[in-house]
Amino acid sequence: MALKKQKSKSPSALITGVTGQDGSYLADFLLSRGYKVFGTVRRNSTENFERIEHIKNRMELVEVDLLDQMSILTALKKTRPREVYNLAAQSFVPTSWEQPILTGQFTALGVTRMLEGIREIDRSIRFYQASSSEMFGKVQTVPQNETTPFYPRSPYGVAKVYGHFITVNYRESYNLFAVAGILFNHESPRRGKEFVTRKVTDAVARIKMGLQKELRLGNMDAKRDWGYAGDYVRAMWMMLQQKKPLDYVIATGVSHSVKDLIRIAFAHAGLDWKKYVRIDPRLIRPAEVEHLLGDPGKARRGLKWKPEVSFEKMIKMMVDADLKRVQAEERNKEFLKS
Ligand code: NAP
Ligand code: GDD
């Protein structure tokens, strides 16, 4: 679909999880297309608006917790969006073994709370659910597409399968325009530092600056189909502009190992990774997803979507951004000392 600017009265969208990686990129994208954007935030004792600092004055923030049905109803009533993107979730896989019940409450039942809110307030809302390639887990076919059976390997993956099928079920039961994007891993300089790509690029920057001596990692043989978050939020929007509500796999169709990631990131900073990287058995997961590889054929044909940023370019972009940030932090510390 050609990305033409909308002509009529500006459309509106509510994004849950706007303070997260994808929420912030999606807000950037929708604002650039003339949308009125509402973003949901949780009440915190300290603000965590780092990723939306540059746009927070151009959108409206509303307090919502996916655990709290009333807050969802109030937000929908107050904002009356045309589109809802449900990106909020407990999204870190290892935490889902530490907090399996809470992960289920946020990541699984939170979706039903959103769908019930839509059913109650306005059934014409178009709803996007952030499904995940983690649902394929112990993969049943290679590559994975929209018809590949799910075999999740973590409480997070299990919760996402619930969120996926409740979206399909509400579409079929209540005729809602509700779709699920099955997104493979996507990264950026705004990625949380606990995820492996950012953990590596942040460490590279700190090692380069002499602030860190080693990097401890878990399974370096795991393979992922890694894409760039900026490309993936565009696909979310495209899914909600279609005539028919359909689910799509969003992926690059190429996979790399954690070792490939390490090699590219360290080499970009002129470092020999073998001097710094150590395996830490404590970081090995109770059940691992060894290899994910997506088939984005349906999205390419149906949405005319394709990724624009390659894996290598993205990792270099992340290393550069982390180097710049760490250098600025160090300069700031020096300035404060003087
Ligand atoms: P992220 O950076 O971890 O952001 C998660 C967001 O959810 C944050 O804004 C967080 O708010 C919010 N949140 C968590 N629990 C909440 C609750 N109970 N109520 C309200 N908000 C809550 O995740 P992301 O990488 O942007 O991913 C976005 C979505 O896509 C997630 O659903 C994730 O599971 C899914 N997904 C991600 C990928 C990927 O590779 N990135 C791939 C497939 C699917 P706080 O800032 O207050 O913590
Ligand atoms: N986080 C992390 N930290 N992962 C490591 C480490 C480490 O120190 N060492 C090796 N890995 C391996 C993990 O075992 C996994 O196989 C791979 O690196 C990727 O881990 P993450 O970056 O944490 O991502 P994920 O694949 O578990 O989950 C992400 O992608 C899913 C889509 O498939 C998250 O964004 C999920 O929310 C998302 O649904």
d(CA 18, CA 81): 15
Could you write out the DSSP letters of every residue in 169-230? HHHHHH--EEEEEEEPPEE-TTS-TTSHHHHHHHHHHHHHTTS---EEES-TT-EE--EEHH
Give the distance (Å) from ligand 2 centre to CA of residue 223.
10
In a domain, 3, yes or no: no
Which residue, chain included where needed, has tokens 């965590």?
A: 48
187 lines ligand 2 (CB under 6 A): no
Give the angle subtended at the CA of 105 by the CAs of 104 and 109, to the nearest 5°: 90
Half-sphere exposure of 317 (CA within 13 A, CB side): 15
Evaluate whether 219 touches 288 at the Cβ level (below 8 Å).
Answer: yes
In a shared domain, residues 130 and 207: no
Q: Kindly give the number of the ligand 2 atom that is closest to the alpha carbon of 222.
A: 16
- The token duo for 222 is 């795991």
Q: How far does the chain reach from its first CA to its final CA, in angstroms?
A: 55
Domain that holds residue 70: 12-188+226-250
Give the distance (Å) from ligand 2 centre to CA of residue 224.
9
Q: Each residue of 63-73: pLDDT tens digit?
A: 999 999 999 99
In a domain, 328, yes or no: yes
122 lines ligand 2 (CB under 6 A): no
Q: Hey, whose CA ends up nearest to atom 37 of ligand 2?
A: 91
In a domain, 83, yes or no: yes
Beta strands 223-224 and 186-187 are: unpaired
159 lines ligand 2 (CB under 6 A): no
Report which bound ligand comes closest to the CA of 48: 1
In a shared domain, residues 210 and 107: no
What is the pLDDT, as a whole number, of residue 8? 52
Give the distance (Å) from ligand 1 centre to CA of residue 18.
8
Find the Cα–Cα–Cα–Cα dihedral 45, 48, 52, 55, rounded to 10°.
Answer: 30
Alpha-carbon distances, residue 168 vs 111, 121, 124, 227, 248 (angstroms): 11, 19, 16, 25, 12
Nearest to 157 by CA among 133, 135, 183, 180: 135
- The token duo for 33 is 């297309």
Q: Each residue of 135-175: pLDDT tens digit?
A: 999 999 999 999 999 999 999 999 999 999 999 999 999 99
Q: Hey, whose CA ends up nearest to atom 13 of ligand 1?
A: 88
Bridge partners (DSSP) of residue 127 are 84, 178
- The structural domain count of the chain equals 2
Which residue, chain included where needed, has tokens 């297309």?
A: 33
In a shared domain, residues 57 and 123: yes
Bridge partners (DSSP) of residue 223 are 257, 291
- The token duo for 67 is 């655990």
- Entry pTM: 0.97
What is the pLDDT, as a whole number, of residue 2? 44
Q: Ligand 2 pocket check: which of 148, 195, 259, 260 to mutate, most ligand atoms within 8 Å of Cβ?
A: 195
In a shared domain, residues 70 and 177: yes
Query: What CATH number is associated with residue 204?
Result: 3.90.25.10
186 lines ligand 1 (CB under 6 A): yes
In a shared domain, residues 146 and 171: yes
d(CA 200, CA 216): 9
In a shared domain, residues 100 and 245: yes
In a domain, 179, yes or no: yes
Q: Hey, whose CA ends up nearest to atom 32 of ligand 2?
A: 185
Query: What CATH number is associated with residue 53?
Result: 3.40.50.720
Q: Kindly give the number of the ligand 2 atom that is closest to the alpha carbon of 219.
A: 10
In a shared domain, residues 239 and 328: no
Bridge partners (DSSP) of residue 15 are 39, 85
Give me the active site residues, please.
132, 134, 156
Residues of the chain where predicted confidence (pLDDT) is lower than 70: 1-8
In a shared domain, residues 269 and 176: no
d(CA 169, CA 207): 49
What is the pLDDT, as a whole number, of residue 238? 98
Evaluate whether 69 touches 41 at the Cβ level (below 8 Å).
Answer: no
